[in-house]
A and B are shown apart, each in its own frame.
Chain A
Amino acid sequence: MAADMRLPTIRKPVSLSVSTSDRKDLVVPGDVITSDTGFMRGHGTYVDEDKLTASVAGEVQRVDKLICVRPLKTRFNGEVGDVVVGRITEVQQKRWKVETNSRLDSVLLLSSVNLPGGELRRRSAEDELTMREYLQEGDLISAEVQSVFSDGALSLHTRSLKYGKLGQGVLVQLSPSLIKRQKTHFHNLPCGASIILGNNGFVWLYPTPEQQEEEAGGFYTSLEPVSLSDREVISRLRNCLLALAAHKVLLYDTSVLYCYESSLQHQVKDILKPEVMEEIVMLTQQKLLEQEG
C-alpha cells in the first residue's frame, strides 16, 4: 500500500481578498478601548478604573453607545430561534440534558417535544417513565432554541416535524463562528444528500429521505442500509466541510455545494491532502465571488 507522507510546514490559509492593511479595530485582553465614560459595557469588555477595557482578543463592535468585543473563536452563544444539533448526555426527570457546544448543557423538556400520538396530548407520568425509549444517552437530535436562561443555558424544543432524533448520517463538529446565519438551516442538496447546518457548529449530513413519515413525531429512525453512492456523496461532503473550515470559509448551502462541485475531479480520500484542499477552496472562493458579481 502506498503511503502518503509530508513534512510539517506552516501553510497559510488561502484567501482571495487582499486586504493587508492594518486594522485598527482589533484589540487584545487588557487593551483600553476608550476612557470616555459615556459608553456602555458589552460582552468581552470590563471597566477598570473608569476605563473600558477589552477582556478577549477580537474585533470591536459598536452599536450606538454599546461597545462589545467579539472574539474570533468561542463557544456557542445561543439565541432564540437558532437551529442546533446536539447529543443527549443525560436523562433526568421530565427533561433531557443535551450537549450543544454551549457553555452549559442545554435542556430539552419533556413538555417541549412532540410525542407520538398527536400534538394535543397530555404528558402523563407514564411518559416520564418511558422517556428513555424516545431519546437515550448518546442519541443525536436536531432542535431549536426556545429560550435562554439567566445563566446562559439554553432551553430547546423539537415541536415541529423537521426536528427530532437523527438517524443514519455523519456529524461534523466545527467552530460555530463559521456557520452563516440564514433563513433555513435544513437543505436538500442537489448532489443527493441533505445537510443540517446547526448554528452551534455541529453539521449533520444524511441521505435525503424519500418521503416524510407522518405520525412518528420525529422519533422514527430508519435502519435501512444506505446505498454506496449515497455514502460516497456524504463522505465527500464531509471532507469538503473540513476543507472549507480549515480555510475559514463561511458555511452555507451555496458554499458547500460549490465546494462539492469543485472537488469532483478528485477522489474522496484525496480531498483532505493540503494541496488538494487549497486548490478546491480556491476554486470555491472564485465561484462564490463570481456569483456575488
Chain B
Amino acid sequence: MAGLELLSDQGYRLDGRKASELRKVQARMGVFAQADGSAYLEQGNTKALAVVYGPHEIRGSRSRALHDRAVINCQYSMATFSTAERKRRPHGDRKSTEMSLHLKQTFEAAVMTQLYPRSQIDIYVKILQSDGGNYSVCVNAATLAVIDAGIPMRDYVCACTVGFVDETPLADLCYAEESGGVSSLALALLPRGGQIALLQMDARLHQDHLETLIEAAMTACKGVSKVLDEVVRQHLQEVSVLTGE
C-alpha cells in the first residue's frame, strides 16, 4: 500500500468510519421557487444542488422529440470553487459530459418517460463542494428534485460508491480514499425491487470479489434510500399540512 493506510488494524477508516458506514446525509427539497423541482443534498463534505424543469415542450431542435416517450436531458457541472484546485470549465469537459450521460441513463431507467410523449425533462446538477462520490451524490440529489417536481418514477434511485481494500468493501468513499488507488465501483439502484440502474467500474478487481462488492454497494444504497425516504416524507408532511383542505 502506498503511503496512506486506508483501513486500520482496528477496522477504522481515514475519517473514523467503520467499513460499511455511510457519511452523514442531509437534504432539503424545494429550495427554488422558479424551477419545477429542486433539491440540495450533502453527503459528508460533498454538496450538490439539483434542479428539474419539465416535462415541457422540446426546446431547440424538434427532431430530438420521441413520439412515444419523453427525452431526458441531463447536465452535470462542478462549481469552479468545488475542488481544491480551481476548475477552469464548470461543465462541457470530457469528464462532465460522461457524467451527464451516466445520469441520463440512470434516470431513463427510473422515470416513467412513456407517460409524456413528445416532451422533455431537464435535470441540472451542480456540485458545490467535491469530496468523493460525486456521481452518487448527484443521483441522490436529482432523485429528490424529480420527486419534488411531481414526475412519476418507478422508485427512488439511490447511488453509492464502494471501494475494496484489504479484502473488505468500504462504503461511500471520500476523496482521500478515492484518490488513494482503491478499485472502486459506483452503483445506482432502485432499492425496492433491487434493480440496478447503472453499474460503473473502471479499475481492476478480481472476479471473485465482484459479488461481495456489489452486495456491499446494494446494502449501502438501501441505507441511502432510507434517509431519502425520511426526507421526502418529512417534506410531504410539512407541505400537506399547509395546503390540506
Chain A interface (Cβ within 8 Å of chain B)?
10, 12-13, 15, 17, 19-20, 22-23, 26, 28-30, 44, 46, 48, 53, 55-59, 71-75, 89, 97, 99, 103-105, 151-152, 173, 177-178, 245-248, 250
Measured in the bound complex, the distance between the Cα atoms of B193 and A246 in whole Å is 37
Residues of B with C-beta under 8 A to A28: 147, 156, 229, 232-233, 236
From the candidates A23, A29, A72, name the one contacting B152 in the complex (CB within 8 A): A29
- Say which one of B94-102, B114-122, B128-136, B179-187 lies at the interface with A: B114-122
- Say which one of B71-79, B168-176, B202-210, B237-245 lies at the interface with A: B237-245
Residues of A with C-beta under 8 A to B149: 73-74
A57 touches B119 (CB 8 A): no
- Of all A-B residue pairs in the complex, the 6 with the closest CB atoms, nearest first, are A71-B150, A74-B150, A55-B152, A30-B155, A248-B242, A105-B57
Task: Tell me if B151 is interfacial: C-beta within 8 Å of chain A.
Answer: yes
A56 touches B55 (CB 8 A): no
Measured in the bound complex, the distance between the Cα atoms of B67 and A151 in whole Å is 10
A12 with B238, Cβ < 8 A, contacts A29-B155, A55-B152, A248-B243 known: yes
Measured in the bound complex, the distance between the Cα atoms of B208 and A185 in whole Å is 67
A73 with B150, Cβ < 8 A, contacts A28-B236, A58-B236, A103-B116 known: yes
Measured in the bound complex, the distance between the Cα atoms of B28 and A74 in whole Å is 18
Residues 214-245 of B at the A interface (beta carbon under 8 Å): 229, 232-233, 235-245
- Tell me the count of chain B residues lying within 8 A, CB to CB, of chain A: 43
Residue of B nearest to A71 (CB): B150
Task: Tell me if B21 is interfacial: C-beta within 8 Å of chain A.
Answer: no
From the candidates A20, A55, A72, A74, name the one contacting B153 in the complex (CB within 8 A): A55
Residues of A with C-beta under 8 A to B89: none
Measured in the bound complex, the distance between the Cα atoms of B243 and A178 in whole Å is 8
B57 touches A30 (CB 8 A): no
Seed contacts A13-B242, A56-B151; 17 additional CB < 8 Å A-B pairs: A12-B238, A15-B241, A15-B242, A17-B241, A23-B237, A28-B147, A28-B156, A28-B229, A28-B232, A28-B233, A29-B155, A57-B147, A59-B244, A72-B236, A72-B243, A103-B119, A248-B239
Measured in the bound complex, the distance between the Cα atoms of B118 and A173 in whole Å is 24
B152 touches A44 (CB 8 A): yes
Measured in the bound complex, the distance between the Cα atoms of B131 and A130 in whole Å is 59
Closest Cβ of chain B: how far from A139's Cβ, in Å?
A: 17
Residues of B with C-beta under 8 A to A20: 241
Measured in the bound complex, the distance between the Cα atoms of B147 and A12 in whole Å is 21
From the candidates A19, A72, A103, name the one contacting B56 in the complex (CB within 8 A): A103
Of listed A26, A104, A246, residue having the most chain B CB within 10 A: A104
Residue of B nearest to A89 (CB): B57
**30 pairs of residues in contact across A and B, judged by CB atoms under 8 Å:** A15-B241, A15-B242, A17-B241, A26-B236, A26-B237, A26-B240, A28-B229, A28-B236, A29-B153, A29-B156, A30-B153, A30-B154, A46-B152, A48-B154, A57-B150, A57-B235, A58-B150, A59-B240, A73-B150, A75-B36, A75-B55, A75-B150, A103-B116, A104-B56, A104-B118, A104-B119, A105-B57, A152-B116, A245-B33, A246-B33
